[in-house]
Chain A
Amino acid sequence: MSEALKSDQLGDETSIEYVTVLISGQLFGMPISKVEDVFTLQSITEVPLARSEVAGVLNLRGRIVTAIDMRARLGLPPRESEGNPMAVGVAYKSESYGLVIDTVGEVLRLQKDGIEPNPANLDPRWRQVSAGVHKLEGDLMVVLDIEQVLEGLTDPIAA
């Protein structure tokens, strides 16, 4: 698919804009309408007893934001490289979350009908948070369903 092109923020009926991010080498896309912020992770307060996907809480311009480690969420090994990771700020159920990713890419406008359903053999953890796959030139972009990413974490484990 070569529909990808840089464009302004205005969406239309047939295409949708994605902010692309890189997590452990894999390209992901988040609908730009869901993305409130992109920021570099400075200082973060770990939350003891929290589930492993919660990286901690941080102060983002006076708001307290819960940071989610996307690598842990996707069952990937922890990040090894130096330097502060980036985070994408999103709102979910009127609360602010920061999805910690490796790096932020660019903004892509992609045709809605270019999306493919999840391949059947995708890891269930990925399947849960993926809203489909876009076939880009030389790359595949997994569309992140932000609601699912966070919903799966708030759902308490049956006790």
Chain B
Amino acid sequence: MRRVSCDPGTGLDMDDLLQEFLTESEESLDVVDVELVKFEQDPNNEEILANIFRLVHTIKGTCGFLGLPRLEALAHAAETLMGKFRDGVPVTGEAVTVILASIDRIKEILAELEATEAEPEGADEDLISQLDVLAGIGEAYAGPEGDDSVEESADAAPEMAADASGGDDDAQLQVLERELKPGEVSLDDLERAFQEAAGPDDGVDEPAAGAQAAEAQAEPAIAETPAPAEPPVKDSDADANNERREKSVSTQSIRVNVDTLEMLMTMVSELVLTRNQLLEMVRRLNDSEFKVPLQRLSNVTAELQEGVMKTRMQPVGNAWQKLPRIIRDLSQELDKKINLVMNGAETELDRQVLDLIKDPLTHMVRNSADHGLEVTEDRIRLGKSETGTVQLSAYHEGGHIIIEIADDGAGLPTEKIRQKIIDRGLATEADLEKMSESQIHKFIFRAGFSTAENVTSVSGRGVGMDVVRTNIELIGGSVDVKSIEGQGSTFFIKIPLTLAIVSALIVEANKERFAVPQLNVVELVRVQDGSDHTIEMINDTPVLRLRNKLLPLVPLAKLLELEDVTALQPVIEPAQEDAQEAAGPADDPSGAPSGAEARAQADQLHDQSGDADVPEAGAPDAMPAADAGAEPGEADETGEDSNVVPFDSEAQGSERSKAEGNFIIVTHVGAQTFGIVVDGVYDTEEIVVKPMSNMLRSITMFSGNTILGDGSVILIVDPNGIAQAINSDVATAVSAEANEENAAKSAKRASEEVTSLLLFRAGAEETKAVPLSLVTRLEEIKIADIEPSNGRELVQYRGQLMPLVYVDETQKLREDGEQPVVVFSDGERAMGLVVDEIVDIVEDKLNIEVASSRPGIIGSAVVKGNATEMIDVGHYLPMAFDDWFRRQDGLSDAGGQHLLLVDDSAFFRNMLTPVLSAEGFEVVTVSSPREALELRENGEIFDLIVSDIEMPEMDGFEFAEKVRADAKWGSTPIIALSSHCTPAAISKAREAGFHDYVAKFDREGLVATVRQLFEQVGEAA
């Protein structure tokens, strides 16, 4: 964090001067740090030396002026040594180290000076004598006497002048003005020399020129690392700011207290909110006289906001300033040769964000140098270049800045990480088996994870990548790693440009309003029946034909579970998962599209409404990209039927407009493009992002919340979270394009009744299994949280008490740590089945070969070649709640209702019977339609029939037809139960006379359907 002069109201002139000096010196010293490291690598570069020399000289001079003898002496000694370098004394690492140490000491003294307003007591002879020895004048300790100093300066100055070349500037003007010491005559020469040297124009008429000048100056010095440029208001680059500060000629920039800026920002945020409120109010009035002045106020506010945002932007290079020094020190300490390359230092971001990423970034660069790069011998042995490279790059992408930290070192040791994950109990071997290498790598961001075997002084101090991750996530960023063993690792930090204000689209889903940040919105598409833009389904997966692509769709309401989501809804996988990342749209340097822009966009949309183009709601620069994607032949198609969303932020109607119908927000996140389906779209609004409360932060679907113009709180949808939600089911989902093929395949598989089984061990040796469809969750429960009560164990689970049940008596809880538990739930109730270990999740044909007489076990089956005992969940549920199947809610009245279950699989009969009994039915089961029809002949009457489809002898369709054909059961509702859930099968089932069709593993779906049908029956009766 840059220090800016403290409280301006402290009065005394001298204090102000001191403050000014402190701020400036600190900045100068940071530059000296960087420059010295550069100089060490390039000792013949006179410009760098001149620059360092000048900075140190300035500090020394100012110290003399302010009467700070200790600082002056130290600076003087360092300056002397540097003078010798210029005289041709070879530059050694040792000398640079001592100078750097002196700089550090100066910083310490400055820090104390700031705290106490007096130069601290103490002596620096140790450093001074070292400096002197290196300078060849070691015999005497050079005191701070004026004579000495004058002499030295006199010595140095002409040389400086002689060496100062075209790239330097006229910064020495300041020395003239401030150096009022009578003795320093020679400075005039120095001064003149500098002035004569062609420098950047004095007549800087835009503030940015200062920064440019600084850059221009630094560029010849070292090509691959552009010197950090500075925004005008707050400068760090010593050249630029020395120059400006002292210049009486021009006052193009002033220092502003950071707090002042912060306050300004807060006020602007409030102003924006108030303006929004006013706009909202005036919108409701027809023909208000306020309209025009309010419009003006609105524009001014937008500009003000943009302006204030700009003052907060700083180049990311500011956070990098200390890195060359750190790498240099590391390289010495670890005896590695390290080359630090920095790209994109000029990329700007909000200073608040910048401050927050500084430490994590430093930590990661250290890590790369320390853990990433191999020691020199190893590198040579591996045939790599002796010098390891750590490359730092920053660039914009979407509304974010990406910072990459890449090293060409050993890469992440996957095996070691895997071992550690197991050792630390972060995941089981079974889990790891299913993970890709990159998923395993992500564990390094987990708490308490450090792979460094030896704790060095550099890293491994207990601050791990988890802290880095936490810090980055705090500001809405994310961190990721890509690593190839033997070739190096690259860490990606993705951070938002600014945290404060974003432009957002207000949408509606299931009667609730949400905000979607505009930055992620590529375009808006309205879908209607009869138009070419209709939502099509592939195996229940909604997709949209957009130009020549299939766009995967996710209904927002479904994502947020706002409505009753039918189970077995396939998860959508974006089609372009592997598509190369399109170049991010050029970003507005201010980071947030201003209100004016947002309105401009809205206007644009409105204008387009006449000739109905694909509505573009995204940032204007997203438009060409979208257009480019349209094939010429298809352009018509897209143009004709899609409707423009009538945005109306211009208060044209008497009411705030809301466009009704189904809208698809085409969203771009990273390499993914997908459509979010919403019910309605309001207009765009500038929103001040407020972070979610801690309690809600775990919900990845929201990035924050805000107060709208009408005073209501609205949640901000996080497209990143949505993208993650889509991706996290990658194992089960398939890409939209591959869906058709897969649907066919799965249909084929379904006939063989492949079941997902959860394999676990509990009690006796044999592996046990339970259909995954019955399992609600897998949990690890802290032993400490388990409370014994009345002979049973209970645990707090989701605000309810959950009893724990054992598979058999031999089983014991773990002594400490966490106990794996398989949770089964039904409505509000949950039961935890204590298991020793979760083994795996497999898909296999379920074929119970040996029925069991033991309670709790249905029978044995061969799963993946091993004998496995199939658990009867129905046996355990009543153990948890003895009234589990006697609940008096919902269908309690159904008691006495008869239900016939027809299924050839004993397993399903066993599984479903308790479920249906729980609904209050008296269940009769038969294993074939033939038996069922026999019951009919015997005059049995049922209120409801549930039948499997795939059965030998007579299948469900035929059975249903037979049932319908006879008057006895002709009106009895009949539900089809099948794993074969395709639209064709469903329609066939309807033709055959089934009332409804439920997927076989969809227990809840079955329950819901049964209830519904029962209610209908009840009404009819």
Contact = CB atoms under 8 A, between A and B. Distances in A.
Interface stretch (A2-10, A53-61, A81-89, A103-111): A53-61
B696 interface: yes
Given A72-B799, A159-B779, A64 B690 contact: yes
B713 A53 contact: no
A93 B796 contact: no
Nearest to B785: A158
A158 B782 contact: yes
Contact of B797 (A44, A62, A72, A157): A157
Interface of A is mostly: mixed
Nearest to B820: A158
B695 A157 contact: no
Interface string A63-86: 010100000110100000000000
Given A51-B799, A62-B707, A154 B561 contact: no
B779 A49 contact: no
B693 A97 contact: yes
B715 A45 contact: yes
Contact of A59 (B560, B696, B713, B779): B713
Contacts of A95: 693-695
A72 B560 CA distance: 21
A51 B715 contact: no
A53 B73 CA distance: 66
A58 to B, nearest CB: 6
Interface residues of A, number: 37
Contact of A57 (B713, B782, B800, B801): B713
B799 A57 contact: no
B780 A66 contact: no
A124 interface: yes
Nearest to B797: A157
Contacts of A56: 713
A153 B796 contact: no
Contacts of B715: 45, 47-48, 57
Interface residues of B, number: 35
B798 A157 contact: yes
Given A57-B713, A124-B794, A157-B798, A66 B696 contact: yes
A150 interface: yes
B560 to A, nearest CB: 4
B293 interface: no
B712 A59 contact: yes
Interface in A28-50: 43-50
Contacts of B111: none
B811 to A, nearest CB: 20
Interface in B781-807: 781-782, 787, 789, 794, 796-801
Contacts of A153: 695
B568 interface: no
A132 to B, nearest CB: 19
B560 A49 contact: yes
B732 interface: no
A48 B799 contact: no
A59 B709 CA distance: 12
Given A57-B705, A124-B794, A159-B779, A47 B696 contact: yes
Given A48-B701, A50-B699, A124-B794, A64 B707 contact: yes
Contacts of B841: none
Nearest to B712: A43
Interface in A116-131: 124-125, 128
B818 A64 contact: no
The 8 A-B pairs of least Cβ separation, nearest first, read A48-B560, A66-B693, A45-B713, A158-B780, A57-B713, A49-B699, A59-B713, A59-B707
7 contacts: A45-B715, A47-B715, A48-B699, A51-B798, A57-B696, A57-B715, A150-B695
Given A48-B715, A51-B799, A124-B789, 14 more contacts: A43-B712, A45-B512, A46-B512, A47-B696, A48-B562, A49-B701, A57-B715, A64-B713, A95-B693, A95-B694, A124-B801, A158-B780, A159-B779, A159-B780
